[in-house]
A and B are shown apart, each in its own frame.
Chain A
Amino acid sequence: MLKIWGRATSANVMKVLWCCDELGERYERIDWAGPFGGNDDPKYRAMNPTGRVPTIEDAGNVIWESNTIIRYLCDTRHGEALYPTDPAKRSAVERWMDWQLAHLGGAVTPLFMGYVRTPAEKRNPAALEKARIEAIPVIQIAEDALAHQGTQYLAGNSLTIGDIPVAIFMRRWFAFPIERPRMPKLEAWFDRVKTRPGFVAHVAVPMV
């Protein structure tokens, strides 16, 4: 059975759990990292030199980097609907996964650290306001793309693994106690993705 190392509260682990649900894939998950420790365990580091979660083991393959894991799962579990094989269509999915890693994550994480991982009395309001202002044009990119494309999802009119990483970080964005400018296409998209059972089970959980 597919084995997943990683605490269920990790955004990157959530990608894998949600993707497994979309694929109907069963798995065994081991609580790892965060309060469970293990990042510097020598055996874990031998599997995954970054020490981060998730890592998976499948049919003798040890795989790390969450976006790489979900691409692998789709390619090995007939997940063409989630991850098309046509190269151009495939790139339209992959760009959103790359964008989450390179841009969205960095915009949302300072707010996450401030509002979720820092007690209220220790927050730096000026820094958080700066982070909010800087995040807005990044979030706007997804709004602009959806508006321009006129599609229901980021890479077309059905859910793909392009939507999964972005949705996990947007779940955070929409939950912070901040003012957000209206982004009607993005909000409609988010209302759509949050109905997926995989989102409900693994992403719509309290942020810690």
Chain B
Amino acid sequence: MLKIWGRTNSSNVMKVLWLCEELGEKYERLDWGGQFGGNDDPKYRAMNPNGRVPTIEDNGNIIWESNSILRYLCTTRGNDKLYPKDPGKRTLVERWMDWQLANSGGAMTDLFFGLVRTPPEKRDAAKIAKALRESGDIWGIVERHLAQTGGPYLAGSDFTLADIPNGIHARRWFGYAIERPNLPHLKAWHDRIAERPGYKKYIGVPLS
């Protein structure tokens, strides 16, 4: 059975759990990372030199980096819809996966850590305000893309891997107790994917 190392409140672990739901894939998960520790465990680091979660083991293959795990699972489980085989169509999905990674540090992380992982009395209001402004600009890119293409999903007419990493971060964005700029296409896309069983089970949970 597919084995997953990683705590359920990790955005990157959530990607894999959501995909498993989409694929109907059973798995065994070990709580790892964050409050459970293990990032510097020598045996874990031997598997994953980056020390982060998730890592998976499947048929003797050890895979790390969440987006690479998603690609691997779709390919090995024969799911062409979530991750098209046609090279041109594939790029319409992958670019949003890369885009999420490239934007995963910086403003998005500052906002999450500021609002969710820091008690109110310790928050840096100026840093959070800056992160909020910059995050709005970042999400504005998705807003304009969806407005231009009509979506309804990031890669076009079908739900794909493009929607999973970005959906997880959009859930955070829409979950913060803040004033957000009005991004109606982003909201509509988010609300649509929030109906999916995988989202409801693993993503639409309280932020921690």
Interface residues of A (CB under 8 A from B): 45-46, 49-50, 59, 61, 63-69, 71-72, 75-76, 87-88, 90-91, 94-95, 98-99, 101-103, 105-106, 141-142, 144-145, 148
Contacts and interface: CB of A to CB of B under 8 A. Distances in A.
A91 B102 contact: no
A203 to B, nearest CB: 19
A29 B183 CA distance: 35
A75 B88 CA distance: 10
19 contacts: A45-B144, A49-B144, A50-B99, A61-B91, A63-B91, A63-B95, A65-B99, A66-B98, A71-B90, A71-B91, A75-B87, A87-B76, A90-B75, A91-B65, A91-B68, A98-B66, A98-B101, A106-B105, A141-B50
A49 B87 contact: no
Interface string B44-70: 011001110000000001011111110
Please list the 9 inter-chain residue pairs (A to B) with the smallest Cβ-Cβ separation, ordered nearest first: A95-B65, A65-B95, A98-B65, A65-B98, A101-B101, A94-B68, A145-B49, A88-B61, A68-B94
A49 B141 contact: yes
A102 B63 contact: no
A144 B44 CA distance: 13
A88 B72 contact: yes
B68 A95 contact: yes
B175 interface: no
A188 to B, nearest CB: 17
A68 B98 contact: yes
A148 B49 contact: yes
A22 B12 CA distance: 32
B98 A101 contact: yes
B182 interface: no
A205 to B, nearest CB: 23
B95 A71 contact: no
A19 to B, nearest CB: 14
Nearest to A61: B88
Given A91-B63, A95-B64, A99-B65, A71 B72 contact: no
A46 B148 contact: yes
Interface string B67-102: 111011001100000000001101100110011011
Contacts of B61: 88, 91
A59 B104 CA distance: 31
Contacts of A50: 99, 141
B95 A64 contact: yes
A68 B91 CA distance: 6
Contacts of B98: 65-68, 101
B37 interface: no
Contacts of A66: 98
Contact of B45 (A69, A76, A105, A144): A144
B106 interface: yes
B29 interface: no
A63 B96 CA distance: 11
B3 interface: no
Contacts of B63: 88, 91, 95
Contacts of A61: 88, 91
A50 to B, nearest CB: 6
A72 B95 CA distance: 11
B204 to A, nearest CB: 24
A38 to B, nearest CB: 17
A64 B98 CA distance: 10
B178 to A, nearest CB: 24
B87 A102 contact: no
A55 to B, nearest CB: 10
